[in-house]
Amino acid sequence: MIGSNAFNYINVLDKAADASWKRNEVIANNIANVDTPGYKRKDVQFESYLTSALIGDNSLDKRVANANLDSLDASVYTDNASLSYRLDGNNVDIDTETANLAENQIRYYTLLDSMTQEFSRIKTVLTAR
């Protein structure tokens, strides 16, 4: 994390990218365990934490500047632990997981692109004469 107010958006995007990376790992683990009896799918919770951190009546710039990024971390949880789609107790649906994986990869690369654009804007400001 970069410790300057000029990088607030980049820091938030970085936290979101970290959460997306973690989600990618969790989905890959779900896919790897699709045939494991009793396995319960896992997922990552981050978006609700981000929404809570950025809630307020101020402008988005002020909300981002005031966000406590140290407490903004993704958490892994077991999804529908009591629900099973199969007789062996496993609740992983391979079609859902592959769709989630594709969606998450798009999200991750979009976040990286957004960070690159933010750095490019900062670079433009610093090099303008």
User: Is the confidence at residue 69, as pLDDT, over 80?
Assistant: yes
Find out whether 108 and 24 touch, Cβ atoms under 8 Å: yes
Task: Evaluate whether 19 touches 8 at the Cβ level (below 8 Å).
Answer: no
d(CA 117, CA 10): 10
Tell me which DSSP letter residue 69 carries: G
Token pair 């998450």 in the structure block, residue: 104
Q: Give Cα separations from 29 to 43, 63, 81, 92 (angstroms).
A: 10, 35, 16, 10
Q: What is the mean pLDDT of residues 76-88?
A: 83
Task: Give 29 or 65, the one with higher predicted confidence.
Answer: 29
Distance CA 5, CA 86 (A): 50
Mean pLDDT over 85-96 rounds to 90
How buried is 3 (Cβ within 10 angstroms: 0-12 exposed, 13-18 middle, 19+ buried)?
exposed
pLDDT, tens digit (0-9, with 9 covering 90-100), for 2-48: 555 667 888 899 999 999 999 999 999 999 999 999 999 999 999 99
Q: Where are the alpha helices (DSSP H) in the chain?
A: 8-32, 47-53, 60-66, 94-127
Residue 99, pLDDT score: 98
Of 126 and 105, more confident:
105
pTM value is 0.84
What pLDDT score was predicted for residue 2? Answer: 54
DSSP 29: H
Instruction: Give residue 85's pLDDT band: very low, low, confident or very high (50, 70, 90).
Output: confident
User: Which position has the higher pLDDT, 2 or 129?
Assistant: 129
